[in-house]
Amino acid sequence: MSKQILLINDMAGYGKVATAAMLPILSYMGLPVYNLPTALVSNTLDYGKFNILDTTDYITGVFPVWKELGFSFDAIATGFIVSERQARIVSAYCQEQAASGTVIFVDPIMGDEGKLYNGVTPSTIRSMLEMISVAHLIYPNYTEACYLTDTPYVAEGVSAAEARRMIDALRQTGAKSVIITSIMVDGEHCVMGFNHFTGEYFQLPYTEIPVHFPGTGDIFSAVLIGHLLKDKPLVESTRRAMDAVARLIDLNKENEDKNRGIPLEKFLEVIEPAE
C-alpha cells in the first residue's frame, strides 16, 4: 500500500511553488497526498508585491478534528512557517505523530544567496529551529544552513571540512539526517549530506544552470521524498531529485516569465517515477 503524506506548507495562488509544486509531483509518483496550508499567498514572492493570509487559527481547528476522526500519515513534510506561534503548534503535532511512527521531513524555507526572502524575519529563524528539532530529515540550502547555525555566509563557498561542521551543527539541533543544497564546496557546486542510518557523510556535485526559478527547492524536496517513501536509499534519492530539477530547469530555461515557476503539469513525465 502506498504511503500517505501530509504537506504542511504555503499555497500560492499564482505560481508553481510550495504546495502547488509538490502536490502534483508526489501524486504523479503514486503517493496519496494531503495538505494543510500554513499561509495563502497571492503569488510567488519574486514579483516583489504579494499578499499573505496567515492560517494559524485555521490550523488550530484542524488538528483536533483530524485527531477525533483518527487520521494519521506515514510522513509529514513541512515548508514555509509563518510565525513562532505556528511553529509551536505544527512542531507539537509533528512530534506527536512521530511518536506513532510518522517520518518528519522539514524544509526550513527562509532565504537564498545569503539573504532572507521577502517577508521573512529573524523570528522565522527561531521558528525553524523549533521545526528542525523534531525532524528525521532536513534539507536547507546553504543560506538557510548559515542562518540556522549562525555561520557567516561566504559567497565563494566552503571547504569540505567546513561543510561537515555545518552539518554537525544542524544535527545538534535535533535533526537526524541532514542535506545542505546549493553549496559551493572546494570550488564545486554540491549537495552535501549526512545519513544517520549509515553514519556517513556524502557529497554530490552538479553543474549549475545559470537560470533562476522559484520553486526548484520544492521540486527537489518532492522528488526526494517520493523516492524515500518508495524505500530508496538517501543518496540515490538525493541524486534523482537533483537530476529531476536539472532536467526541468533546462527544459524551461527559455520561459518568458520565470517568476511564476516551472509549469510542472506539462513536464511530469521527465520526473522518473520510483519503481
Q: Write down the pLDDT at residue 78.
A: 98
Question: Which tens digit of pLDDT belongs to each residue from 106-134?
Answer: 999 999 999 998 778 888 898 899 999 99
Q: Write down the pLDDT at residue 273.
A: 53
Q: Which residues contact 64 (CB under 8 A, 6 or more apart)?
A: none
Q: Write down the pLDDT at residue 274.
A: 45
What mean pLDDT do residues 232-261 have? 96
* Residues linked to residue 40 through DSSP beta bridges, in sequence order: 11, 53
| CA atoms of 201 and 193, how far apart (whole Å) | 6
For 176, other C-beta atoms within 10 Å of its C-beta total 15
Length of the chain: 275
Q: Write down the pLDDT at residue 24.
A: 96
What mean pLDDT do residues 67-80 have? 97
Q: Write down the pLDDT at residue 141.
A: 97
Instruction: Give this prediction's pTM.
Output: 0.96
Indicate the residue type of 204: L
What mean pLDDT do residues 6-15 have? 97
